[in-house]
Structure 1
Amino acid sequence: MSSAIFATYRSALLSQPLSAVWRGHGSAIFLEFGRLIPRTRHDGTPGNPQGAYTVMIEWSWRIEDEGSILCGSWSDEENWGDVFTALIGREVRDITIFGRLPELSIALAGGYYVASFMTADGQPAWTIFDNSIERPKPGYISVREGSVLADTDV
């Protein structure tokens, strides 16, 4: 795992507010951090806004508080919205990698946590996108062959 590249993304995310949470295909979730920018889909309709940083967890995720699991990718979907709403505006307190194969844990203000934990074969299915204006095009880190790699490494 490239700890240097993860450390760069980690330091950029610390203290960023969670500005939006939205659901992708299936149980995929997207967490948008920092200032939101409106997006338009290819068909011209409004899309989900994009933050300076985006965390995508394709499946196998859960959201916790200090004492329990509030919801997860296998929970009743009708309860997700209230939990997602409770996270909006909370700042990132820490973001870490855990496990032999790198899973992601995001600690938010107020004792909330978002964690990935792949339960199918393959690799942990999370990506952090850097959409910040300092980059000519978005960059990202994700897990490949058991290591955290940047877009330039894949």
Structure 2
Amino acid sequence: MSNEGVTVLQTFRDAMIGLPLSHVWRGGGSAIFLQFGRLTPRTRHSGEAGNPTGELGLMIQWSWRIENTASILCGSWSEEHLWAPAFDLLRNKVVVDLSVVGRLPEIVIALTEGLYVSSFMTAEGDPQWAVFDRRDSALRTLSVKQGILKLDVGPSPLL
């Protein structure tokens, strides 16, 4: 990983450690969204309440798993009835580490009580995850593009 990639990852890591996993929800298909820290309510275009967003968030589009210290509890290819109980285990646990592993960066979030959320892409292309930092007026997004960590900065959609 480049020095720039290490620096960017460390910035997100420092911001996320110590935050609780406040909300987790399933998106389309097997996508999951984890929201950390203080939650902000969202309203859909239809006027209905949407899922809240955290100060920081993680999206894994597909190929993910939830682990404890001894086994895989469930993953994107598991029976869907296993997902909700695993999501319940994650809620309110505190982030103790954020790291990337592998030649093509896959993300790992370590939580209290020995729980982990990991991405692991199994199709062609880049790993399909992104971390969002919504704490300022600019939305900062960390993801993988062409096999390397990429930081994008843009206006926050919440302001």
TM-score (norm 2): 0.92
* Cα RMSD after superposing both structures: 0.8
> What's the % identity of the aligned pairs?
52
**Which amino acid in structure 1 is aligned with residue 91 of structure 2?**
I
1:56 aligned residue: 59
Among candidates 49, 69, 74, match of residue 66 of structure 1: 69
Map residues 15-54 of structure 1 onto 2, 5 A cutoff.
15-54=18-57
Structure 1 residue runs of 4 or more that deviate by more than 3 Å after TM superposition: none
CA–CA distance in structure 1, aligned partners of residues 16 and 77 of structure 2: 27
CA–CA distance in structure 1, aligned partners of residues 26 and 110 of structure 2: 20
Deviations 1:108-149 (A, max 9, x none): 0000000000000000000000111xx213211100011111
**Which amino acid in structure 2 is aligned with residue 146 of structure 1?**
G
2:145 aligned residue: 144
2:124 aligned residue: 121
CA–CA distance in structure 1, aligned partners of residues 51 and 134 of structure 2: 14
Structure 2 unaligned segments of length 5 or more: list them.
Answer: 154-159
CA–CA distance in structure 2, aligned partners of residues 124 and 61 of structure 1: 10
1:75 aligned residue: 78
CA–CA distance in structure 2, aligned partners of residues 120 and 92 of structure 1: 28
**Which amino acid in structure 2 is aligned with residue 64 of structure 1?**
E
Count of aligned pairs between the two proteins: 150
The structure, 1 or 2, with the larger RCO (C-alpha pairs under 8 Å, 6+ apart) is 1
1:16 is displaced (CA, Å) by 0.6
Deviations 1:52-99 (A, max 9, x none): 000000000000001110000000011110110111110001111100
1:109 aligned residue: 112
Among candidates 86, 92, 104, match of residue 89 of structure 1: 92
SS across alignment from 2:107: strand
TM-score (norm 1): 0.95
